[in-house]
Amino acid sequence: MDLHRTVVFQRHGANDPTLVVEGSVIWRASHTPHGVATLALRPAGGAVRVAAWGAGAEWAVAHVPALCGAEDDPSGFDATRHPLIASAAHRNPGLRLGRTDEVFDALASAIFEQKVTALQAFSAWRRIVTWFGERAPGPTPRPMFAPPSLEGWRRIPSWSWHRAGLEPPQSRTVVEAADRGESLVRVLDAAADGLAREAVLTSLRGIGPWTSAETRIRAYGDPDAVSVGDYHLAHQVGHALTGARTDDAGMLELLAPWSGQRQRVIRLLAASGVSEPRRGPRLHPEDHRRR
């Protein structure tokens, strides 16, 4: 297993206060059902050495195998359908699809990333989690914070969202989802599969297919989730598989032979290093905080 490639996928930017990489150790702070926990994960031969601190330490340790992809099932996946995917699978045998089982945190972070640049979303996430999250216990290499509890998300004042750089549609969606947080998580955990979870998530105002897919990928390790509506994804998939750009419909057609394992294909394409050449200037992010 490639611990770094599997777990660091959960990080929201290089300065994410919930996940820090220090040398070979991955530090992760989370808000578990039993309280805040800090994990330190380090590869040790063919195993992972784990240390944990905080009220939620026992829960966090019990979920380390799932976080590291132990529940990932590649059954039926055929990498040989495309030479690039076959090559990426051969060169990345340790890539796994992990899951956090921290559903609301995955949903909140996905909402932060709606319709903005990654730089804006990661900056807002860092500010809100640092201001309103809980300080991570243990000897962390730098101050770390777990995301707020559901009650904490509900209590964030409107001006703090604005100061963090998050726009009203996103902050409103987070708060409305937090108002239904406990029942929402129960229903999602009880859902039969990814399609059922998508139906539940997209029934909420402000949550569409993209946000649903991003939530399921991180929280449940959904091997078939595809983030339709992403600004770059369809272009990247089209370029990698055919050498030409495509749209969402074209991307879904290209990924159809791997139905049930489409997220695995996307992750392998990302690991392949093949990407569409940049064209034109980068999108300049707007700063709404002075409005």
The domains of the chain, with CATH numbers, are 1-291 (1.10.340.30)
Decide if pLDDT at 257 tops 80: yes
The whole-number pLDDT of residue 216 equals: 98
> Mean pLDDT of all residues in the chain?
94
For range 48-66, the mean pLDDT: 98
Strand partners, 38: 29, 53
pTM passes above 0.75 = yes
The whole-number pLDDT of residue 282 equals: 57
Confidence band, pLDDT 50/70/90 cuts, at residue 48: very high
Decide if pLDDT at 76 tops 60: yes
For 137-180, write each residue's pLDDT tens digit.
999 999 999 999 999 999 999 999 999 999 999 999 999 999 99
